[in-house]
Structure formats: structure tokens, C-alpha cells
Structure 1
């Protein structure tokens, strides 16, 4: 592969991700990330755990070809690494907890642990629905306080394995999306029937070895028979300060228990959606509270886990216009902005991680 040549003053950013052969997870986004780095004057490349030669301080890095696909060659050691690895395999975990790199983002805990931690922090607890780890009897106990519950995996993604449970006048309605995205419906007459049904769901729909959560349901049906929620992206900017990049609204398919785009949902711009529902001045207040929530959550999580660079927040807004935090993702997608036609927001959402990594690299001691 030849000698590794690094130009004087050249800034190098590595992106740690999963790969198998020349196949990468989220290739479209990562391609855009590399190209955004080039425009900022940096050398940016992808690599995985198997590509690191620590003894010689060089890395087999991958960059996009003009006509598609990837090419690889030995690359210089990165000043900063952006972690986009989404699979907690042992080889990745060993590398992640080594001292080989300066990472732009710290390791994060499982979603269910984060939710329970946030619920106990008085700075943010007002926005967190009541949540408990699933155990026999948990659903029955929570139904005494709320008529709507969600049972969901604590390490899930893309809206899979989520079950919506609603108490009605004559029994209970269950609506879920399995881990293969197929829709499931049931109507039951007794609480014991519900307990039995949920126990089977948890056993069959478990993702890896994660816990399930039982969570106070927030009525998100702002559009008739459709779930709607907010995807907000907060990122560190080129000064290293938290800034809300954008907000979009995801609207689920009719009758679906989730709003996820993977499950057939659609995306619409934030302010027009909430202006139509609540009026212009109230929509602006909702936007401000969502932003305040995001800044506070980012502050609390960074304090707990160490340096972070971005979070995708799923925020539910109920029929009274009150925001609730549904979920936090430390390695978020950003396709919602492309879908709603906010090209500048989408461009900024891709550019900011590299800007922050470059700013972080400049602060490193020589």
C-alpha cells in the first residue's frame, strides 16, 4: 500500500464504523461526512477495528470513489476520531476503551439506563414520562395510573418491538410493530390477559439481551389516528458549543404505534405543523421549550458520560402542547431534514461533526 505521507499542518479525522469487506453501515451518510471534511480542508477517512496498526501508528482507511464504492490505503494517524460504530462487538469495545485515540464522543450507556438516570435528575425530570423496567406486574401497576402505556426495548432502534397499550371502556387495545417491522394488533378483555400477552411479546420481541421498559404513554395523536413526534438534532458547533441544528416532525402511518420513517412514516417541517395545531405564538413557545429541553439534556448527559458531540432527541408533544422526552440517541440520523426539504439544515447537520472534530484537534496539546 505504500508509505503514509502526511502534509505539514494537514488535519486528519478518522471515522470509526462497522465494516465487512468494503460494505459499511450507513454508507450514504458516511460518504457525505468524508466529502464535507474535504471541503473543510481536512483528510477524512473511514476505518473499523480490524484496520488499526497500533505498532506502526497507521490505519487502513477507506475513502469514496467518484463513481461509487470505496478505495483503501494506509492513512496517517488521526488527530481526532468520530465514533459512528453502532454494534457493541468485543473488538470494538476493546478499541473504544483503549487510549489509542482522541475521540470526539464518549461511550454511551444503554437507552434504558439513560432514561432512568434522566428521570432521577431534577434538572430534566419534568420532561421524562414515568418509566420502569419491565417485570411481571409492572404493566398492571402502571395501568392504575395511566390509560396509555408503551412497552419498548431499552436498546431498540427504528421503532422495532414497540408496543402501545391503551385502556378502553370495554377492555384493552394493543398495537405493536415487531422486530421485523410487521404490525401486530390485539383486543383483550382482562388485565390478566394483557399481562400474559405482554409477557409473550417481551420474550419473543427482545432485541439482543436488552431489558424492556414500561413507560407512561403520551398521547401523540395530533393528527387523526396517526402518531406524530419531533426529531430534534442538537450538535456541537465549530466553537465547541451546543447548538440546535434543526427540528422536524415525523408522522406515522395511519393506525401505526410509532412515527418512525422505517415503518412508513413521513416527515414535515416543525413550525408549519405546530402553527396549524396551536397557532403561531404557541408554536414558537413549543419550539423554545424543545430547544431548552435539548440544551439541558445535553448538559446533563455530557456531565455524566464525558465529552459528546451530538444527540438526536425524539420529543413527544401532547394534545396540550407540552413536550416530553421520548428517547435520546448519541449517534443520530439526520434524514428527516432532507425529507422535509431543509437542504441547508441537512448540509449543516453533516458538516458540524467534522467542524467540531477539527476544532477539538486544534485544542490538543502538541
Structure 2
């Protein structure tokens, strides 16, 4: 029987790797217990559909103290009093299976959070290669970084790191972390899935630590066409058609 393509299943497979555990945010199926436990523990969580993409249905909840919680949903923001009413609001918006995930305090560019899309590919009978990395910067008023949904922008990794609110890490150090984690991710996932193209969403926190948010097996490759330099886009498409 084929393994589920859901985000929680892939997360569980990645958690089996001792090399990846410290780079994976705590993630559970969303229930009242997991929602409250993770929010109490981390003070910031993201809830999202186990399947689907594009940032649709994703919410961020942040504890503001004195039992007040800020809920960010698209461009919509709301403050709710009490943990249980906050869960009930999130549950009312959730359609189908949802996950609760430790929130990462993402680095920002001009006050807007960004994360990364990392493409890892291989052709038939060849080794895995990181073929592209870019930063997805959230649009004004959004916390999600999906470029289409939030009307954000794509930037080369070096540009993003140079402009970002990252305190302790150089571009070279971050780039090395990304490559190492990306390859370790696909080495683990290939044990359970037949894959040749993987788009990994990663986050960089304000201390320069790189986190693995999720892995996608049908990633949007056109993000890379938004960059002025089309070299990565051409490489990605070459690998994509060469792997079929």
C-alpha cells in the first residue's frame, strides 16, 4: 500500500532521522489537547490543512499574555480572550484534517516574514542535487509567504539574507545548513516514496537557525521564473523533464 502524501505522515517519517529532529518544528494532528498544549508551550503556533497548498486555510495564533490570543488568518486579524474560545474559533475555520505546528519566529525583510523554497531533484540513475533556492517574502499585512496568495515577492537567497533581520549567521553558514538539511530530507523521504522532484519549505529564524517546515512532491516551479536571473528556473525544468 502506498504511503500517505499528507504533511503529518511525511513529518513522522522525517522525525525518524536523528539528523533532522532538531530542525523540525513540533507538529501534531490538531485536537483541543494538542492545540492548547503547543500554544502553552511555545506561545506561537501555526494551524494548517494536512493536505493542500498555497497557504490556503493557514492560521497563526500568538499568545499575547493575560489569556489573550492574536489570530492571523490571511489579512484578517482578531484578538480572542481565553484559550478555549481561541481553539473553537480555529476549529470553526478548519475544514478536514488540520495540523498544529510549533510557530517559528521567521526572520523578516522590512517587517515582512519570509521563508524559503528549496528544490531538490535527481534524474534517472543520478544523485540528488539542490537545483534552486529562493526566498518567499510575504505581502503587506500577511504572515503567509505564498507569493500568489499574499501578493508577495521572490528574492535570491543571498539578497534575502543580506536584507533580513538575522542576528548571528552569515550567508555562507545559512547556505550550508540549507544544503545539508535539504539532502538529508530527500534521503529520508526516498525510503518511503518514489520521488525525483521535491520542493522543501524551510524557515530561517531571527537567530539564523534553519527549520524544515514541510516537503512537497508537486511544488510550484514557476516561483523561480519570477527571479531576474532565470538560471535556476532553467536548471529546475531541465531536471524535471529529465527525470520523467
> Same fold by TM-score, threshold 0.5 exceeded?
yes
8 Å contact kept, 2:109–2:163 = no
Distance 2:12 2:126 in 1: 28
Partner SS, residue 313 of structure 1? strand
In the TM superposition, what is the alpha-carbon distance from 1:273 to its structure 2 partner? 1.5
Change (3 A) 1:281 1:327: closer
8 Å contact kept, 2:203–2:210 = yes
In the TM superposition, what is the alpha-carbon distance from 1:349 to its structure 2 partner? 0.8
The answer for unaligned runs of 5 or more in structure 2 is: none
In the TM superposition, what is the alpha-carbon distance from 1:166 to its structure 2 partner? 0.6
- The reply to whether residue 217 of structure 1 matches residue 109 of structure 2 is no
- The reply to whether residue 172 of structure 1 matches residue 69 of structure 2 is yes
Give TM-score, length-normalised by structure 1.
Answer: 0.62
Distance 1:197 1:211 in 2: 16
In the TM superposition, what is the alpha-carbon distance from 1:275 to its structure 2 partner? 2.7
Aligned residue runs from structure 1 range 163-202, under 5 A: 163-170=59-66, 171-177=68-74, 183-202=75-94
Partner SS, residue 227 of structure 1? strand
> Match for residue 124 of structure 1?
20
- The reply to whether residue 144 of structure 1 matches residue 40 of structure 2 is yes
1:312 pairs with 188, 191, 199, which one? 199
Give TM-score, length-normalised by structure 2.
Answer: 0.91
Distance 1:258 1:138 in 2: 22
8 Å contact kept, 2:130–2:179 = yes
Partner SS, residue 91 of structure 2? helix
Q: Deviations over 1:70-93 (max 9, x none)?
A: xxxxxxxxxxxxxxxxxxxxxxxx
Q: Which structure has the bigger radius of gyration?
A: 1
**Structure 1 runs (4+) greater than 4 angstroms displaced:** 278-281
Q: Deviations over 1:191-227 (max 9, x none)?
A: 122122122122xxx1xxx410000000114224422
The answer for unaligned runs of 5 or more in structure 1 is: 1-96, 98-105, 178-182, 358-366
Partner SS, residue 259 of structure 1? coil
2:161 pairs with 274, 283, 288, which one? 274
Q: Deviations over 1:306-349 (max 9, x none)?
A: x3101001101000000111111111111222112221211111
Partner SS, residue 195 of structure 2? coil
Aligned CA RMSD, in angstroms, stands at 2.1
